[in-house]
Amino acid sequence: MGRAETSATVRGAVTASGVGVLELDRPGALNALDLEMARAIDTTLRGWRQDPAVRSVLVRSTSPKAFCAGGDILAMRAAGLRGDDAAVRTYFSTEYTLNALVARFPKPYTALVDGYAMGGGLGISVHGSAMVVTERAVLAMPETAIGFFPDIGATYFLPRLPGAVGWYLGLTGVRISGAAAVECGLATHYVPAADLPALEEALTGADGGAPDAVLERFAVAAPPSELAGHRAAIERCFSAPDLAELRDRLAAQTGAGDAADRAWAEDTLAVLDRASPMSLELTFGLLRAGAGASLAECLALELESACRTAREPDFHEGVRAALVDKDRSPVWAPRP
């Protein structure tokens, strides 16, 4: 492979067959996307976009546990606490610019997700032309649990998922399997983890410029997912016009339907009760606005919302409870 832009945590190289391979290599942080990584990926992709020798792009992780477990939210909390608005805006602007670059990349862009892909990890995978998941994949937008909101273009792609699933994922932050990601349309292909080495070899070999045919050869039908039995209840409850009605529908579901749906509704209400009330209100409004907006409009609104939210006590408290003290017991600010 020929070398391209590199950093301590991102390696870019082009194969003899013209495939640009991006490797995320920050395993100790589960490839959490910091500013250096975002800039390195952006620079590499811009170079490959202009290079006629690069026919397609493949993004992978060197970590056995994660593709990318999110953004550098600890750094954003620290910046918010010290009032460094410029640092906050620089980080989120860089990340969202990268998301837009992936979405409009003019060549095939395939992400291999084997392990965790959360928050920022979805931002550099779901916007591409193909997103492969395995039975070890775990996907989530868990921001309402830390006083934030689903960003990285999620306010665009979540409300477009069928059957109100996107509203469910965005408001609850629930983790879903690779099979569920394919079922609801977040991911495009399901490939067993044991077949990934052969898939990578095929994608970077002579057929690398035509990844669609390679992916069709390796993809298998995903097994039934954890979402399958609750799709009707999800649509019924999360299509509500506001949060109050959503809670009312979930409460009604706890006493109706089969035992599985009743238990699901009880668990879902408990998740919402633990989330930041500010985040739930903000997320609901952004998803509603995003349903009728372009990706560019969603990212612009997310940027302004992120810069404001980084100053909020709920964000500081949520990240403290989840990632600093790790007591999982945030004390949210009362809502007016």
- The set of catalytic residues is 71, 120, 143, 151
Q: Cα 318 vs. chain centroid, distance in angstroms? A: 19
The Cα–Cα gap between 65 and 31 comes to 10
The Cα–Cα gap between 204 and 207 comes to 7
Is there a contact between 54 and 105 (Cβ–Cβ < 8 Å)?
no
Element (H or E) spanning 14, and its range? strand 10-14
Query: In the chain, which residue ranges form alpha helices assigned H by DSSP?
Result: 35-50, 73-81, 85-103, 120-123, 154-157, 165-172, 178-184, 196-204, 211-218, 231-238, 243-253, 259-274, 277-290, 295-309, 313-319
Q: What Cα–Cα distance (Å) separates residue 42 from each residue in 7, 27, 37?
A: 12, 20, 8
Rg (CA), the chain: 20
Q: Cα 190 vs. chain centroid, distance in angstroms? A: 17
| Tokens (6 digits) for 37 | 């990584």
| Tokens (6 digits) for 21 | 């391979």
Over the range 92-124, which residues count as b (16 or more CB within 10 Å of their CB) and which as e?
bebbbebbbbbbebebbbbbbbbbbbbbbbbbb
| DSSP string over 239-266 | T-SSHHHHHHHHHHHTTSS-HHHHHHHH
CA atoms within 13 A on the CB side of 99: 29
